[in-house]
Chain A
Amino acid sequence: MEFIYSILILIGLYIIIAVSFDLILGHGGLISIAHPIFVALGAYTSGMLSMYFGVPILLSILLGAVFSTLASIALALSSLRVSGDYLLIASIGFQLGVLQIIKNLDFTGGHTGLINIPSLIEGPHRSLYYLLFVLAVAALVLIGVRKITYGDYGRAIRAMRDDEVALVALGRNIASIKLTLFAVGCGLAGLAGGLYAHYFLYLTPEQFEILESAAILTMVVVGGIASTWGPVVGALIITALPQTIQFLNLPPSINAPLQGLLYTTLVMVFLFTRPQGLLAAKEMGTQVNRKAPPTDSVEFNRGASV
């Protein structure tokens, strides 16, 4: 049962991460893939604050999220002068650079990782209570992101994604919108990182490598980019399905690569059979119908599609 709970907790955490990433990528159109590094910063900050300085765990999780927000502002201020594929490449450089720093510092545990992180909830029903807590946070994040993206501000965000020049002509400050999206999205990723650290109690830099970026990106694309429930479904499928192999009780040397093969095959199948994602965004769906191009993909106004 513990195993099932830990998978469900992981799904809850990935829902927070995928929804926050979709806010930046899907709604904002900002192609940065450094999201796992903000999860890492939240996790490491929270873990170290509680371990070394005795900060209460809930407070350290919040401070971890704040630190991720500040780091994201630092990235955004320097890198939002470029966009598209260049922003994607710059974000890879940022992610790998920060990871390299984490790997080389003694107080972060270096390559071996940070161990003995205190648990947020103790007791015999630790996992069940943690699951309920994580799901409650995930639900709040989902509601919050939906509120941001469906209000007046949401329309401004979509307008920025679809036509930056037109929005500037209307007198809106797009730099502030981009900065806000980055800060909110990455802060939520940091929150998920803190929650991760105080349940799994162990962190290594390898958990936040470039392959993790691909996994989160995949959750958003498979679920349905810029839709409310898409990243939720994507997180559920991409996290849960490869775990089914665990029940075959295979030796670890076969189990791990087989899980990886299942995951990558799943992604490729979804990428080619349902490129718009399992739950395509409503507003985009109508846009596709209105323009009626004979394509099997979601079309953005900027002339390219997923």
Chain B
Amino acid sequence: MTISFYVIYWGVNVLKLPAYAAFCLSLVITIVCGLGIEKLAFQTLRNRKALGFTFFIFTLIVSEFAAYLITLLFGTEPFTVFPYIFSPVTPYAGIIISQWDIQAIFMTAIVIAAVYGLLRWTKPGKFMTAVANNSRLAELYGISSANAYAMSICAVAILSTFGMYILGTKIAVTPHFSLGIIIFAVAATVMGGIGNVFGAAMAAIVLSLVQGFSVLVIPSQWQNLLLYIFFFIIIIFMPSGFGQFVRVLRGKSG
């Protein structure tokens, strides 16, 4: 995410490229970095049957490495993709909606539909799901797990470039910014049920709404605490995510 944002920023503000060209450049560089990490690091760790927390250390360390490298190149000052973040606003039924909001919702919907299509109707998507469920069994059926992991990394690189483009046009980003976002992403993933892409998307929307509307009840500085409390309770009592809760409710009503 950090790499995606800073390449877009560099493309637009230093190389003076049009936004779409900077976006494409960022996409290419993020994919190359992602594949490099997959090939050189994740594959090695998987071959060693490394524990989950070794992956955890490695991903944190790589994120930190990227953040420090970018601090060295760009400094700690926060940047947005464009010099101005204001976009025209229109009131709809008493709610102010900006052009950025509409663009962001539209782009997010397209990306989610594309992920759905990839996983549901394409062979590589089905292979990715198979490897995620049971890589050894998938290998027995002739699916290359190495290719599936590489595909996953490419998909992640594309999604994070989209995400950081949308975010970077509205919010100022610093080199260590992404580490905070990833916690939100992990919370949404767990709450949605690990392995359930749309559950994660729904959980992200629910979390954002809860955080947003909590301002009506509690002071804004406590908004993040609400996220962590949600996060902790879900992990402890519903480690399989909201889906588990819904299944329990259905079971009781049945």
Contacts of B190 in A (CB 8 A): 89
**A52→B183 CA distance, assembly (Å):** 34
Q: Does A285 contact B (CB under 8 A)?
A: no
Q: Given that A267-B61, A268-B61 are contacting pairs, would A297 and B69 also be in contact in the complex, using a CB cutoff of 8 Å? A: no
Q: Given that A88-B52, A100-B228, A104-B222 are contacting pairs, would A268 and B65 also be in contact in the complex, using a CB cutoff of 8 Å? A: yes
| A112: min CB distance to chain B, Å | 14
Q: Does A136 contact B (CB under 8 A)?
A: no
> B48, B53, B64, B225: which contacts A97 (Cβ < 8 A)?
B225
Stretch at the interface among A122-130, A227-235, A250-258: A250-258
Contacts of A268 in B (CB 8 A): 41, 58, 61-62, 65
**A101→B60 CA distance, assembly (Å):** 24
Interface core residue of A88, A271, A300 (most chain B CB under 10 Å): A271
**A306→B50 CA distance, assembly (Å):** 5
- Contact indicator A257/B69 (Cβ below 8 Å): yes
- Contact indicator B179/A272 (Cβ below 8 Å): no
Q: Given that A78-B236, A264-B68, A272-B41 are contacting pairs, would A214 and B61 also be in contact in the complex, using a CB cutoff of 8 Å? A: yes
Q: Given that A210-B183, A261-B65 are contacting pairs, would A82 and B51 also be in contact in the complex, using a CB cutoff of 8 Å? A: no
Instruction: Scan residues 98-156 of chain B and give those whose CB is less than 8 A from a CB of chain A.
Output: none
- Contact indicator A211/B49 (Cβ below 8 Å): no
Secondary structure at chain B's binding surface: helix, strand, loop or mixed? helix
Contacts of B49 in A (CB 8 A): 295, 297, 303-305
Q: Given that A97-B229, A258-B72, A271-B54 are contacting pairs, would A214 and B235 also be in contact in the complex, using a CB cutoff of 8 Å? A: no
Q: Mark B170-199, 1 if CB is under 8 A from A, else 0.
A: 000000000100010011001000000000
How many chain A residues have a CB neighbour from B under 8 Å?
A: 50
Q: Does B253 contact A (CB under 8 A)?
A: no
> A79, A104, A261: which contacts B236 (Cβ < 8 A)?
A79
Instruction: Scan residues 204-231 of chain B and give those whose CB is less than 8 A from a CB of chain A.
Output: 221-222, 224-225, 228-229, 231
- Contact indicator A82/B232 (Cβ below 8 Å): no
Contacts of A265 in B (CB 8 A): 65
Range of interface residues on B (Cβ < 8 Å): 35 or more
Contacts of B232 in A (CB 8 A): 79, 90, 93-94, 97
Contacts of A254 in B (CB 8 A): 72
- Contact indicator B236/A264 (Cβ below 8 Å): no
- Contact indicator B72/A82 (Cβ below 8 Å): no
Q: Mark B32-63, 1 if CB is under 8 A from A, else 0.
A: 00000000010010001111111011101110
Contacts of B243 in A (CB 8 A): none
| B168: min CB distance to chain A, Å | 21
- Contact indicator A271/B53 (Cβ below 8 Å): no
**A94→B233 CA distance, assembly (Å):** 10
**A103→B52 CA distance, assembly (Å):** 30
Q: Does B78 contact A (CB under 8 A)?
A: no
> B51, B57, B183: which contacts A218 (Cβ < 8 A)?
B57
| B225: min CB distance to chain A, Å | 4
A–B Cβ pairs within 8 angstroms, 16 of them: A25-B53, A79-B235, A82-B239, A85-B53, A90-B236, A100-B225, A103-B221, A214-B60, A257-B68, A257-B69, A260-B64, A268-B65, A271-B58, A272-B44, A305-B51, A306-B50
Q: 10 other contacts beyond A104-B222, A211-B64, A295-B48, with CB at 8 A cut-off?
A: A79-B232, A88-B56, A89-B186, A89-B190, A93-B229, A97-B225, A97-B228, A258-B68, A264-B68, A268-B41
